[in-house]
A and B are shown apart, each in its own frame.
Chain A
Amino acid sequence: MRSADEVAREDLLTFLNAAFVSTGQAEFASTAEEQRLGIDFLHEYVRGNYRRLYARLLAVGINDFHTAEILRGLLATGRETPEDFRGEENALIRAGARRLPPQRFWKLTARLRREGVNNRRTRAMIRHWFDTHPDQTFQAVKYRRKVAGAFRHAHIHPDGELAEFLFGDHRSPFGTELLETYRQARYSQQAVLRLPYSVAQGLAAKHGMAPETLASRMKTRLTDKERLRVAGRTEDVEIRPERLSLTELTSWLLSRKELDEQADQWLDRAATAVLHRSGPLALTGRVAAVLDNSFSASASRERRGRPLAIAFAADRLLRLGHADYRGFWTSPFEGRPRPEGQSNLSERLLDALDWGATTVLVISDGVENDPAGAFPSIMARLPAEVQVLHLNPVFDPEQLEVANLTTHARALGLHRAEDLPTALGFARYVVGDGTLAELEGNLAGPVRRFIEGGHDA
């Protein structure tokens, strides 16, 4: 019989892995519905059994999809909050909502409205978010429908011209410049070009402007993510690679045909920035990485090439962050990696051991097929000083975990290459040293900083 502590640790690690890695999108071997089913179950389970930790995990740096899920879950089940935890939970909800990017926040309010969750905390959260937002007019224009819906749901009466803008007809001119631009965009093409890009897209169609024309005329005003989205379709919109995060940059570079000198420089710069923020990597000795660029690293249409991008970016990070490092790809390549070939992870592990590595990081989706099942057998016979850690960018909804190649420890989910330093730091807890009380203690500091409005991990 396992103790309550061990059960709790298993449950939390499963949830943490899921919360770091999964995004509800289709993967190589599972559909989006299967992913959602697994994720919904995990959330309900952890919320029911470990509510305090569930709320505190908002502070740890899980991805936005799960932050929104946690907030929705907490707000919908307010009756189950223990008395002494209520204040902290409210503070965590407020801080979590603040951390969400605006589009996710408004999507969350739309979902709360759809599900009929309307209690005092919900209304307070929406009101607080909007009141403390620095640029309310911009929000009202860019997310007009969702903002109006949220205000209706929470019975909020905005003051000034916003009430007229959101709920009235736009007969008379507005005083605020952005609202007036929106009003004029109905009949003026010039006004359309002065609006934010996503709003302009819809109105441009009314004027008969082609989307490519709109993008090239507005190219100085696009945000970086919008540039990435439009890049495939128009020629003149430029990407500013210095402003992209490491994994975004890698995904974009791998979608192009060649990797030239300049791409190399951008990658190095982004990786150095990550290392600068996180400090030195928690690695010692000779480190080898077994990197998976088999066909399954191409994932699905929604997550195109993401596992491969994570592996490539992690390779770059390790190369710059650790002196004695070498990467072993399942299908060695010249120039740029392509997701083809089989998952012959065992062979690469043996190559790494031949090279003399004492720590081996395996970044793979864990499905080995050339031959199947050899990795765990080899792991059982490794020399004692060699440590193997499996980092997995793919979540398997049927087993409710990230697939695990190692026998003595669990695999860690890896959502972005930037999380690699954090994951290496967590490795100690994952391998089995550390109790639940220690984990709670370790979380107390980040939680306090999170609530007081600092930046997350």
Chain B
Amino acid sequence: MRELAAPLSLPGLTPAPSQVCGTFRLVPLLRDRDCEDVRLVDAGWEPGTRFVVDANRLSFGFVPHAFHLDWGVALGTQVLTDPKDRGRNWLVTHRMRKRLSPGRLRFLPQHLAIEGLLSMHFNPPTIAWPELSQTFMRDGLGMRMESFAPGTEIPGFDTALRIFEIHPRQVGMLVFVSDALAAAFVVPSPRDYRRLHLGLLDSLYCDLMITYACHHPTRWIVDPAPHFEGASTVVELREGLASLRREWAQVTNEVLLGDLTHRGLRTETVYSLPGMRLERFVTSLELGAANHIGERILRDDGEVLHLNTLRLNASQTRRAHLLSVLGEHDWHLPSAAEALRIDVPSVVARLEAQGFGHLVNHNFREQAAKARRR
């Protein structure tokens, strides 16, 4: 079920002071209240390309890892045994999210989100407009494809992750490349995080991050001097240290996360668990701003148990935006053109430029091309 939701926020999590290595700024996230009943574990799959078969959809892509989500009462310190997971080494995986046993769900991280991007904004037309092609009428949208880069291709990322000092209570990480958010990753407990920390290297990132990683190293930190001004006793110095940490948390939330905390999301619930839900989301697609897709597991009171985001580059945003505008207007090209404040031949030109030219009737395309030439 798709709905519009509140902007992305991190309730229940506090950012700690960041560690900088070259162009990478890694911000640890600490959980305010320990989570005892949910664990997230790597399923131990071999990375490889797989076909993923869902109810009415077939996806194909590179799957670096899969997660098992376990829930139950007081799971805390139990040693989790190896699952009987059939999808482990096969080329064909059944379902992107699959309940393996009562209390265990397997899902493919980031694939949920990417599939959401590819399908969420698409509303098929209800009226067979003459401008649309026969192929579209017969086969629908056909194949949609987007590409992302694995973390191993980002220069310097492996060093930054290797020399990062993990906080004992750390449950998540915000990865900034040249101070632009590349990914946010949260897991339920610190023990899970320590196992999954280096898995950040295998995750998918926007290829824009490869460019950003080649910029000048970031250097700014929160200036500590004003917090200790006028302090002369140890108690005052300690208070200064605490207020410095609070400022780090505030700066992270307000400056580094930027306008993400103000823009609405479009979410879709993928799976419901007792007391929680797994959903995927896309930020409101604004051309020219940073857009993210992701998936998260939220408790009913809003606490974020798991979060995994992915940044979109400009062309991916444009494609999703165009499809969503067309979908809103039921693929009636003139009204869509009016909403975009351009004329119809330009809409056709945009569709062609972004690889959707096959959705428009051939004759109509030629007419539009002629109109543009004039």
Which A positions have Cβ atoms within 8 angstroms of B? 28-29, 294-296, 331, 340-343, 346-347, 350, 353-354, 369-374, 377-378, 380-381, 383
Give the docked Cα–Cα distance between A353 and B237 (Å). 10
Given A374-B224, A381-B232, check contact A369 B19 (CB 8 Å). Answer: yes
**Residue in B164, B165, B224, B227 whose Cβ sees the most chain A Cβ within 10 Å:** B165
Chain B residues closer than 8 Å to A331, beta-carbon distance: 168
Q: Which residues of B contact A370 (CB under 8 A)?
A: 16-17, 167
Contact B228 A371 (CB under 8 A): no
B168 touches A343 (CB 8 A): no
Q: 5 shortest A-B CB distances, which residue pairs?
A: A371-B17, A295-B165, A377-B224, A374-B224, A377-B228
Given A377-B227, A378-B237, A381-B231, the answer on whether A372 and B165 have CB atoms closer than 8 Å is no
How far is it, in angstroms, between the C-alpha of A340 and the C-alpha of B165 when the chains are bound? 7
Given contacts A350-B234, A371-B245, A372-B221, contact A296 B163 (CB under 8 A): yes
Is B165's CB under 8 angstroms from A341's CB?
Answer: yes
Question: Whole-angstrom distance between the alpha carbons of A354 and B241 in the complex?
Answer: 14
Closest chain B CB from A305 CB (angstroms)? 15
B163 and A381 contacting across the interface, CB-CB below 8 Å: no
Residue B244 lies at the interface, judged by CB distance under 8 Å to chain A:
yes
Contact call A378/B228, Cβ cutoff below 8 A: yes
Q: Are A353's CB and B234's CB within 8 A?
A: yes
Please indicate the chain A residues that have their CB under 8 angstroms from the CB of B222 in the complex: 371, 373
Query: Of the candidates B164, B168, B241, which one forms a contact with A347 in the assembled complex, judged by CB atoms under 8 Å apart?
Result: B241
Max count, chain A CB within 10 A of own CB: residue among B17, B221, B232: B17
Q: Write out the residue numbers on chain A whose beta carbons fall within 8 Å of the beta carbon of B241.
A: 346-347, 350, 371, 374, 378
Cβ distance A341 to chain B, nearest Cβ, rounded Å: 5
Given A370-B17, A371-B244, A378-B237, verify A295-B228 contact (CB < 8 Å).
no
A29 pairs with B224, CB closer than 8 A: no
12 contacts between A and B (CB under 8 A): A294-B165, A341-B165, A342-B166, A343-B165, A370-B17, A371-B17, A371-B222, A371-B224, A371-B248, A373-B221, A377-B227, A381-B237
CB distance from B24 to the nearest CB of A (A): 13
For the complex, give the distance between the alpha carbons of A338 and B167 in Å.
Answer: 14
| Contact residues of B between 132 and 164, Cβ < 8 Å to A | 163-164
Q: How many positions in chain B have a CB within 8 Å of any CB in the partner chain?
A: 27
Output the least CB separation between A326 and chain B (Å).
Answer: 15
Question: Hey, which chain B residues are within 8 Å of A377, CB to CB?
Answer: 224-225, 227-228, 240
Residue in chain B with minimal CB distance to A342: B165
Whether A340 and B166, one on each chain, are in contact in the complex, defined by CB atoms closer than 8 angstroms, is yes
B238: chain A residues within 8 A (beta carbon): 350
Q: Is there an interface contact between A374 and B244, defined as CB atoms closer than 8 Å?
A: yes
Shortest CB-to-CB span from A388 to chain B, Å, is 13
Q: B223 contacts which chain A residues (CB < 8 A)?
A: 373
Say whether A342 contacts B221, CB under 8 Å: no
A347 and B232 alpha carbons, distance in the complex (Å): 16
What residues of chain B lie closer than 8 Å to A353, measured between beta carbons? Answer: 234, 237
Residue of B nearest to A380 (CB): B228
Find residues 161-180 in chain B having any chain A CB closer than 8 Å to their own CB: 163-168
**In contact, A340 and B168 (Cβ under 8 angstroms):** yes
A29 to chain B, nearest CB (A): 6
In the complex, what residues of A have CB within 8 A of residue B16's CB?
A: 370
Are A28 and B163 touching (Cβ within 8 A)? yes
Cα separation A377 to B231 with both chains bound (whole Å): 11
B223 CB to nearest chain A CB (Å): 8
* Distance from A113 Cβ to chain B, minimum over Cβ atoms (Å): 37
B168 touching A341, Cβ below 8 Å: yes
Which of A29, A340, A341, A371 neighbours the largest number of chain B CB atoms within 10 Å of its CB? A371
A373 to B225, CA, bound (A): 9
Write the nearest CB–CB distance from A246 to chain B, whole angstroms. Answer: 27
By a CB distance below 8 angstroms, the chain A residues around B232 are 381, 383
Min CB distance, B8 to chain A, in Å? 25
> Could you list 9 further interchain pairs (A-B, Cβ under 8 angstroms) beyond the known A341-B166, A369-B17?
A340-B168, A347-B241, A350-B234, A350-B241, A370-B16, A373-B221, A373-B224, A374-B241, A378-B241
Q: Which residues of A contact B164 (CB under 8 A)?
A: 295
Of chain A, the residue at the smallest CB distance from B164 is A295
CA distance A295 to B165 in the complex (A): 5
Tell me how far the C-beta of B22 lies from the nearest C-beta in chain A, rounded to whole angstroms: 11
Complex CA gap A370/B168 in Å reads: 12
Asked if B224 and A381 sit within 8 Å, CB to CB, the answer is no
- Measured CB to CB, the closest approach of chain B to A20, in angstroms, equals 24
A371 to chain B, nearest CB (A): 4
Chain A residues near B225 (CB, 8 Å)? Answer: 377
What's the Cα separation between A373 and B227 when bound, in Å? 12
A342 with B167: in contact, given A353-B234, A370-B17, A371-B224 (CB under 8 Å)?
Answer: yes
Which residue on chain B has the smallest CB distance to residue A372?
A: B221
Task: Please give me the residue from chain A that is nearest to B233 by CB atom.
Answer: A383
Whether B17 contacts A372 by the Cβ 8 Å rule is yes
Contacts A28-B163, A331-B168, A374-B224 given; does A354 touch B234 at CB 8 Å: yes
CB pair A350 B237 closer than 8 Å: yes
A311 to chain B, nearest CB (A): 16
Contact: A341 with B163, CB < 8 Å? no
What per-residue 1/0 map shows which CB atoms of B8-51 lie under 8 Å from chain A?
00000000110110000000000000000000000000000000
Q: How far is the CB of B157 from chain A (nearest CB, A)?
A: 15
When C-beta atoms are compared, the residue in chain A nearest to B168 turns out to be A341
What's the nearest-Cβ distance from chain B to residue A149, in Å?
39
Residues in chain A near residue B234, CB distance under 8 A? 350, 353-354
Query: From residue 234 to 264 of chain B, which have CB atoms closer than 8 A to chain A?
Result: 234, 237-238, 240-241, 244-245, 248
Collect the chain A residues with CB atoms within 8 Å of residue B165's CB.
294-296, 340-343, 369
CA distance A15 to B344 in the complex (A): 73
Q: In the bound complex, how far is the Cα of B229 from the Cα of A380, in angstroms?
A: 10
Residues of chain B contacted by A296 (CB below 8 angstroms)? 163, 165
Q: Are B237 and A295 in contact (CB under 8 A)?
A: no
Rounded to whole angstroms, the CA-CA distance of A340 and B197 in the bound complex is: 14
Minimum Cβ distance to chain A for residue B91 (Å): 37
